[in-house]
Amino acid sequence: MCPAMIEFDRVSLQFPTASHPAVHQVSAHIKAGEVVVILGPSGCGKTTLLKLVNRLYEPTQGQIRLEGVPIGQINASPLRQKMGYVMQQSGLFPHMTVFDNIAVVPKLLGWPKAQIRRRIEELLTLVELPPSHYRHRYPAQLSGGQQQRVGLARALAGDPPILLMDEPFGAIDALTRASLQTEVLRLQAQLQKTILFVSHDVEEALRLGDRIMVMNQGEVVQCDTPLALLTHPATDFVHRLLGADDRVRQLSLLSVARVMTPWNPGVVDGHNIPSLGPDQSLRDALSLLLKTGTNALQVTQDGQAVGLITLNQIRAYAQQV
Ligand SMILES: Nc1ncnc2c1ncn2[C@@H]1O[C@H](COP(=O)(O)OP(=O)(O)OP(=O)(O)O)[C@@H](O)[C@H]1O
């Protein structure tokens, strides 16, 4: 088996002044290219776990390995070059322009000026901040959402394989937060980083995580896919935290393709039936059925009818999961 990108091996951290360990006996394998959301209530140890990965903290017990190598054997500086860090309040230097903020790591790496300029143009374009508009601005001249985009660009600057994201959208309004989440999904499809993403927002975790690591009081209670957590919560705590009784939430994780029946033009006349795509969620389908007051939807791909989905099928499926 190839070594995990990041492996937690019975990791604990007991702060000297605290009565309980902030992180207790955490074991987990994070695969390359995976997005793992660390989810849990305030004070459960999420940020501490993240800071153990880039050696801002050292464990009092156990070990973290990066591609099989104990991180205690890697100097902090080369270790951190492998990990972009995005914080809740972007953490941009207020006296530096957007350009200079993003250039910090490439300059540390000793890149030639022309390469740094090219990289910054590329990154600003990637996070959808047109360089000519934004490169000379100071952080105070940006909205919170724009600052987080710059924070993301800065974390990506040295092209690290790992991103550590500590509640990066926690202080952002719901609409901007949703668009930044979409951005992360888009970037991830393109860049395939290994991402550890701290959140206390269940919807955000369900949306972004390939897996969700649920923490409570310093311990990992369950680490699994969003659907597995919702359908098979290991404990009552996970059940309540995830809102596992919420059927609509479950439907949001299941695709139309899972439930539809193949399109049969002999049975249904496709005219005037609302349509949606096979990759859309059952929640989208339910919403469209309710909005249009119909009982069935046509599933289309590349302009071709490929399936049919009905209210009864969704209801039957929701009762099974
Ligand atoms: N430097 C420190 N010294 C002592 N105790 C600390 C220190 N940092 C964190 N703690 C304690 O460790 C526990 C975990 O804190 P941590 O910041 O990791 O929680 P969190 O899950 O990230 O919380 P939040 O969602 O509120 O940011 C808390 O009880 C906190 O008070």
The SS3 assignment for 23 reads: strand
Does the C-beta of 17 come closer than 6 Å to ligand 1? yes
Q: What is the DSSP string of 135-166?
A: TT--GGGS-HHHHHHHHHHHHHTT--SEEEEE
Q: Which of 46, 166, 213 to mutate to test the pocket of ligand 1 (most atoms within 8 A of CB)?
A: 46
Among the atoms of ligand 1, which is closest to the Cα of residue 200? 25
Residue 230, helix vs strand vs coil = helix
End-to-end Cα separation, the chain, in angstroms? 32
Q: Is 252 helix (H, G, I), strand (E, B) or coil?
A: coil
Nearest to 98 by CA among 54, 133, 68, 66: 133
Note down pLDDT in tens along the chain; length 321 residues: 556 699 999 999 999 999 999 999 999 999 999 999 999 999 999 999 999 999 999 999 999 999 999 999 999 888 998 999 998 877 899 999 999 999 998 998 899 999 999 999 999 998 889 999 999 999 999 998 899 899 999 999 988 999 999 998 887 888 888 888 988 898 899 889 999 999 989 989 999 999 999 999 999 999 999 989 988 999 999 999 988 778 888 888 889 998 999 988 766 666 778 999 999 999 999 999 999 989 899 999 998 999 999 999 998 887 776
CA distance 185 to 195: 11
* The ligand 1 atom nearest the CA atom of 17: 4
Pocket mutation for ligand 1, best pick of 47, 57, 166 (most atoms within 8 Å of C-beta): 47
Nearest CA owner, ligand 1 atom 6: 15
Structural domains of the chain sorted by starting position, each given as residue range(s) with its CATH number in brackets? 4-245 (3.40.50.300), 251-319 (3.90.1280.20)
* Atom 18 (ligand 1) nearest CA: 45
pTM for the model stands at 0.86
